[in-house]
């Protein structure tokens, strides 16, 4: 099983500093680097990942058991508490659980090595799973803690706080400076630009503080030294070019004023309105027509939407045109998602249509060199994740991202999202 030089550097970084965030750009093989760092080690080990990636991790470990003679950790997929007893905390086992299973880990389970895949799932200090993750690390103090995420900051700089706190538990003190800020608020004040404004809540004026942008960048980077490694595909791989093409379908979307208001409300509250979905559905007809033009050229195709209904509508339309279509949404059982991806990669399907939330992480879709966004997530890193499904190790063709835009507001929001991504890259 071939490993690139940069992947060997990643393995070495993990082994040296023990508690680390491997933040390589999507598609550079973070999984293989994390597992390589466990070569020759005994367990028990624990992998925590989104439920739909449990089988992917198990499959990767099965391959490694054949390829690497000094890797002895057998995968055990845990779907219920009793699975931890098969065998009971065996030192030759790596237990693979979903984030939802964190609350069911037995009190007597002390893993020697822990991997959190898609570690941005732990960005919110108020979330139950984040609290459980912190409690687990503080209690067990494993020898190795590996956080994996190509997008550790999904939306704003404050999201880095939880990650830094997790890495600061390092008992060997081999990963640099421990973060001194004891609260999310203290971190936000130090590293972002706070602004205060008044809003009305049930006819009562209320002041809220919002945190934007980034400041004290050099100090934040100092905190990250020895904890964080990130490489970009363009720096370590000779991937084919990737370009983005904006596709205007020429029809002004109705309710543009409401659309921009919905985006502004999302920025304030994080809550999506039904209008976003309605506008996504309104673009389906054009997206289908555009997709057919590409498919008629013999091109396999990936299509993303941020909502289930457009995915179902696009899949139904293209099936009606005689194309072989696979679809993945939040309603698709996790056990069947891998089957759809394998069928697409093997050439049994012409098209894979998916929601961004269900298929933008963990999957390789390099059979396609064209990816269409019918609509897009308002979280910048979700878009980056989705793009990288086709532009990663294994891609040999010039790749194109096709952005279907329905109005000036659509364009404005997209540019705003890209601006936020540039701000985050100052730290990343």
Q: Which domain holds residue 141?
A: 5-232
- Residue 252 shares a structural domain with residue 396: yes
Rounded Cα gap, residues 301 and 294, in angstroms? 8
Of 9-13, 202-206, 394-398, the poorest mean pLDDT is in: 202-206
For residue 251, the model assigns a pLDDT of 57
Question: What's the CATH number where 351 sits?
Answer: 3.40.50.300
- Residue 32 shares a structural domain with residue 87: yes
Residue 31's nearest CA partner among 2, 60, 74 is 60
Q: Per-residue pLDDT for 93 more than 70?
A: yes
Rounded Cα gap, residues 322 and 319, in angstroms? 5
- Residue 187 shares a structural domain with residue 288: no
Pick the more confident residue, 130 or 414. 130
Among residues 179, 205, 232, which one ends one of the domains?
Answer: 232
- Residue 49 shares a structural domain with residue 162: yes
Q: Taking residues 344-354, what's their average pLDDT?
A: 94
- Residue 295 shares a structural domain with residue 215: no
Among residues 232, 260, 290, which one ends one of the domains?
Answer: 232
- Residue 35 shares a structural domain with residue 87: yes
Strand partners, 404: 247
- Residue 224 shares a structural domain with residue 247: no
Q: For residue range 267-295, what is the model confidence (pLDDT) as tens digits? A: 766 667 778 888 888 889 989 998 998 89
Contacts of 311 (CB under 8 A, 6+ apart): 303, 305, 327, 328, 329, 353, 354, 355
Helix ranges restricted to H, 253-361: 256-269, 274-282, 284-295, 308-320, 334-345, 356-359
Strands (E) across 23-89 are located at 45-49, 74-77
Residue 170's nearest CA partner among 197, 207, 133, 144 is 144
| Count of domains forming the chain | 2
Q: Taking residues 27-32, what's their average pLDDT?
A: 86
Pick the more confident residue, 328 or 256. 328
Among residues 188, 215, 232, which one ends one of the domains?
Answer: 232
For residue 284, the model assigns a pLDDT of 92
Q: Taking residues 170-189, what's their average pLDDT?
A: 92
Q: Taking residues 321-347, what's their average pLDDT?
A: 92
- Residue 267 shares a structural domain with residue 175: no
- Residue 282 shares a structural domain with residue 193: no
Residue 149's nearest CA partner among 375, 318, 382, 315 is 382
Q: For residue range 145-173, what is the model confidence (pLDDT) as tens digits? A: 999 998 777 668 888 899 999 999 999 99
- Cβ atoms of 153 and 160 within 8 Å: the answer is yes
Q: Per-residue pLDDT for 191 more than 70?
A: yes
- Residue 243 shares a structural domain with residue 227: no
Q: Per-residue pLDDT for 368 more than 70?
A: yes
- What is the Cα gyration radius of the chain? 22
Q: Per-residue pLDDT for 41 more than 90?
A: no
- Residue 154 shares a structural domain with residue 287: no
Question: What's the CATH number where 30 sits?
Answer: 3.40.50.10810
Residue 408's nearest CA partner among 179, 249, 201 is 249
With both helix axes pointing from N to C terminus, report the angle between 380-387 and 408-425 in degrees, rounded to the nearest 10: 90
* pTM of the model as a whole: 0.69
């Amino acid at each position: 099983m071939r490993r690139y030089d940069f992947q060997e550097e990643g393995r070495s970084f993990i082994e040296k500093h023990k508690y680390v965030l491997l933040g390589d750009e999507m598609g550079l093989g973070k999984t293989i680097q994390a597992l390589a760092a466990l070569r020759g080690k005994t367990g028990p080990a624990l992998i925590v990942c989104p439920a739909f990636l449990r089988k992917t991790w198990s499959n990767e470990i099965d391959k490694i058991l054949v390829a690497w003679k000094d890797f002895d950790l057998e995968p055990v997929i845990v779907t219920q508490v009793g699975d931890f007893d098969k065998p009971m905390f065996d030192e030759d086992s790596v237990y693979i659980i979903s984030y939802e299973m964190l609350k069911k880990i037995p009190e007597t389970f002390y893993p020697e090595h822990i991997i959190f895949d898609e570690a941005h799932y732990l960005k919110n200090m108020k979330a139950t799973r984040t609290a459980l993750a912190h409690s687990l690390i503080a209690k067990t103090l494993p020898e190795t803690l590996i956080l994996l995420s190509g997008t550790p900051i999904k939306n704003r700089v404050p999201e880095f706080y939880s990650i830094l706190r997790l890495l600061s538990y390092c008992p060997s003190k081999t990963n640099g400076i421990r973060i001194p800020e004891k609260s999310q608020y203290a971190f936000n004040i130090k590293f972002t630009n706070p602004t205060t404004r008044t809003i009305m809540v049930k006819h009562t004026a209320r002041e809220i503080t919002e945190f934007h942008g980034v400041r004290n960048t050099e100090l934040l980077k100092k905190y990250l030294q020895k904890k964080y490694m990130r490489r970009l595909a363009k720096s370590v791989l000779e991937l084919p070019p990737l370009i983005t093409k904006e596709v205007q379908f020429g029809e002004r979307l109705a309710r543009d004023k409401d659309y921009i208001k919905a985006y502004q409300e999302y920025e304030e509250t994080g809550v999506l309105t039904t209008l976003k979905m309605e506008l996504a559905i309104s673009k389906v007809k054009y997206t289908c027509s555009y997709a057919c033009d590409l498919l008629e050229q013999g091109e396999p195709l990936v299509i993303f939407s941020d909502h289930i209904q457009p995915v179902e509508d696009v899949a139904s339309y293209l099936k009606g045109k005689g194309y072989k279509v696979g679809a993945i949404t939040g309603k698709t059982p996790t056990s069947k998602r891998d089957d759809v991806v394998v069928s697409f990669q093997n050439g049994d399907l012409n098209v894979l249509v998916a929601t961004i939330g269900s298929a933008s992480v963990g999957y390789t879709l390099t059979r396609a060199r064209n990816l269409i966004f019918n609509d897009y997530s308002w979280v910048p890193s979700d878009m980056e994740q989705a793009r990288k499904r086709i532009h990663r190790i294994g891609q040999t063709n010039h790749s194109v991202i096709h952005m279907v835009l329905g109005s000036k507001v659509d364009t404005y929001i997209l540019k705003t999202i890209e601006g936020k991504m540039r701000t985050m890259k100052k730290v990343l």
